[in-house]
Structure 1
């Protein structure tokens, strides 16, 4: 054992004090050499027959041990500070454990929430909402982590795009465990919380609020949502998928492998419908026709209790999309993709695209807040539920009015205009007549605005 210099000095001082008090039993006699600090032998000290030196040696040992503890604690704190300065934000369970000690309750709410958003993509109150809502389901899932730790780990992956292997190696966890927890939490978000936070606006109050807000934005009446598709990039395709000789089915219009996300957003950039059912090479119109929303709209399963009259046309609530979608009575699209047409048609197209801009911004916020969607590093089988889970969390953040992150920008869409199918002709003809009537009505109202 190496003797600490401070300990030796302390022991020397105590022994000198002992000699002063009891010179007849001096431990610093000539038989033990000169009275220097370096010449003191701990074994000689312990062999003394006097109780006094043993008492002093005990006191010295205790003090030295306490000093060494303080020194070790200080060194550990310095090491942690240095570690934190090298990696200012820990993004998983370790960060959660550090933040969730009692000192969080003494922090100012803005500072606390800023730390939470940096680590988990949302503020502390929204985080606790997610935990409380998932706790009953996670308790039944036999996970090896408490609910708050499990949710923290998954949110850190979604917010920063870390792979399971990265988190596992950084925090000495089993990659299989990280994947299992991620799959469990995203599945619960996509199934148990979806009905509560992603809802079609059918109630009279919400429908009126939505259509009124869109009319203030576009001057077009009874618009209740905007639809768009977005490819979510896959980190890679699994080998078994490539062996199917259909890798091109997943190659999207921008050239990378992806799955296709379809969303409908309201004026607050809150999604009220989400669908992930197609590989990235699928066009928007085909994906839409394969969605539950399309089936519900064509079968009149969705009852919107609001009808207005525009130049003799009964206008029910409708959604808007770009030219990649077919023109239908419940889905209005621009007259032209290149800005041609009559003055009334050009004005209508500009107004419609202002309404459509909310869904473009909503998708940009979604991918800006949950960066895993910029390069999805989960298995293909779990990709849809991970995307839907991020949409649920997006809505939670929008409802709670969380600060909006920088918007993820995607390239401008290109492609031929979609055409109506034979079985959609009646919807198309009604939509065509309705669109022209609304364009004429808008053009007539423009000078008086």
Structure 2
């Protein structure tokens, strides 16, 4: 019982004794045993005078008030105090309850929708990522559970959260958040990249790719579409050498990302090698894909004959890329050619739209790429990690979010390099043969 209430009852006892000194319950000889009987109102009712009734009435009222009086809220501890704890909704215990208990009590659509809102992908895809990364995270002897660490990083990538925000949310030091982010993105960009981002060299994959594009464009043997996009940097350190090279044509500091996508918007090549100030053709020529294609290291074995031309699988790009035997571009950027050329350009741009939409999905799913708030040294691996996650989502047929809209591109075709001339002339012949064949097929319908 509350100590202040005991004191109040003691005072009432003295009042009762003053009003009825003849009561044996309140005599000096029995006052020593009061503390043992005070909680028994029946003993107080043995008095025949009015005073005990008054005493009991007052005691009952005070007891009621004491038991129903609001408690003063305890003063919250300072976030900087040693006893501070992470918010319950983001704690390890809360995550464990969600992932091991509540998750199985939820319907799959509801479960996956909740998981996507938190981490950017459904629960099955999340568990796939965790299972593949867990052996490497375990080797690092991280003090946090592997799935919890992966969830934390995915929440940052999908929502674009800053280190400061994430540190506050999970009640961890910013340096630890940075360390975990760097570790997980590095593992995604190195360990999972070879499994989920592959150049289609097998005949089965070539057939799947070319058939998919032919359904979209009516052009045969397209196996991919290439495009570049600047990934905006949140800020650029003043001590970066040649910092002006990072400012893209849209006016913000960035890193240039080049991707090649198939007809299902899955990336099969990713390159992050240049500051945002580079043009698309220069970046492409610096890529490993370009060097492997122009050196003959990659020869796609699925050739067809079109009007006497030997046409191997090729990729398509816009007018900012060089016209080569393995990369076909439009005749013009504003449809100013003849009817056959314009029909070819329209069909080619339908195929190229797949890579535009793939980039829009990439930045729509992983919003950190809309304003990349990581250090410049870790920016490339973060971008590649998001590309790996994008492929996982596309392969699993995850619902597609709203597309991130890229600015409209413009520019002139790049100059042909000396070592490219034979590839360029052969590319011109291929493009003309394909354009004439397409126009004839369209005209005969």
TM-score, normalising length: structure 2: 0.83
Note the aligned Cα RMSD (angstroms). 3.1
Judged with a 3 Å threshold, the aligned counterparts in structure 2 of structure 1 residues 202 and 92 are, in CA distance, closer, same or farther, namely farther
Aligned equivalents of 2:258, 2:176: Cα separation in 1:
31
Question: Once structures 1 and 2 are overlaid, which stretch shifts more, 316-325 or 165-174?
Answer: 165-174
Name which one, 1 or 2, has greater alpha-carbon Rg.
2
Judged with a 3 Å threshold, the aligned counterparts in structure 2 of structure 1 residues 94 and 178 are, in CA distance, closer, same or farther, namely farther
Partner residue of 2:218? 219
> How much has 1:169 moved relative to structure 2?
2.0
> How much has 1:203 moved relative to structure 2?
1.5
Tell me whether 1:414 sits opposite 2:410 in the alignment.
yes
Tell me whether 1:429 sits opposite 2:425 in the alignment.
yes
Q: Does the 8 A contact of 1:92 with 1:153 survive in 2?
A: no
> How much has 1:214 moved relative to structure 2?
0.5
Judged with a 3 Å threshold, the aligned counterparts in structure 2 of structure 1 residues 24 and 199 are, in CA distance, closer, same or farther, namely same
Tell me whether 1:262 sits opposite 2:262 in the alignment.
no
> How much has 1:142 moved relative to structure 2?
2.5
Judged with a 3 Å threshold, the aligned counterparts in structure 2 of structure 1 residues 4 and 362 are, in CA distance, closer, same or farther, namely farther
Q: How does 1:117-156 map to 2 (within 5 A)?
A: 117-156=116-155
Partner residue of 1:381? 377
Aligned equivalents of 1:285, 1:36: Cα separation in 2:
94
> How much has 1:388 moved relative to structure 2?
0.2
Q: How many residues align?
A: 398
Aligned equivalents of 1:295, 1:96: Cα separation in 2:
46
TM-score, normalising length: structure 1: 0.82
Judged with a 3 Å threshold, the aligned counterparts in structure 2 of structure 1 residues 16 and 2 are, in CA distance, closer, same or farther, namely closer
Aligned equivalents of 2:400, 2:331: Cα separation in 1:
33
> How much has 1:99 moved relative to structure 2?
2.4
* CA shift digits 1:272-322 (9 cap, x unpaired): 000000000000000001000001111111232200000111100000000
> How much has 1:95 moved relative to structure 2?
6.5
Aligned equivalents of 2:320, 2:94: Cα separation in 1:
44
Tell me whether 1:240 sits opposite 2:239 in the alignment.
yes
> How much has 1:123 moved relative to structure 2?
0.4
* CA shift digits 1:139-187 (9 cap, x unpaired): 1122221110100000000000001111112332100000000000000
Judged with a 3 Å threshold, the aligned counterparts in structure 2 of structure 1 residues 92 and 358 are, in CA distance, closer, same or farther, namely farther
Aligned equivalents of 2:239, 2:292: Cα separation in 1:
35
Q: Does the 8 A contact of 1:92 with 1:167 survive in 2?
A: no
Partner residue of 2:278? 282
Residue 192 of structure 1 aligns to a residue in which SS? helix
Partner residue of 2:108? 109
Judged with a 3 Å threshold, the aligned counterparts in structure 2 of structure 1 residues 342 and 39 are, in CA distance, closer, same or farther, namely closer
Q: How does 1:174-189 map to 2 (within 5 A)?
A: 174-189=173-188
Aligned equivalents of 1:25, 1:159: Cα separation in 2:
74
Residue 226 of structure 2 aligns to a residue in which SS? strand
Partner residue of 1:34? 55
Partner residue of 1:83? none
Tell me whether 1:355 sits opposite 2:359 in the alignment.
no
Q: Does the 8 A contact of 1:92 with 1:156 survive in 2?
A: no
Partner residue of 2:19? none
Residue 240 of structure 1 aligns to a residue in which SS? coil
Q: Does the 8 A contact of 1:95 with 1:119 survive in 2?
A: no
Aligned equivalents of 1:197, 1:90: Cα separation in 2:
32
Residue 278 of structure 1 aligns to a residue in which SS? strand
Q: How does 1:304-343 map to 2 (within 5 A)?
A: 304-343=300-339
Question: Once structures 1 and 2 are overlaid, which stretch shifts more, 103-112 or 174-183?
Answer: 103-112
Tell me whether 1:403 sits opposite 2:424 in the alignment.
no
* CA shift digits 1:334-362 (9 cap, x unpaired): 01112111111111111100000000000
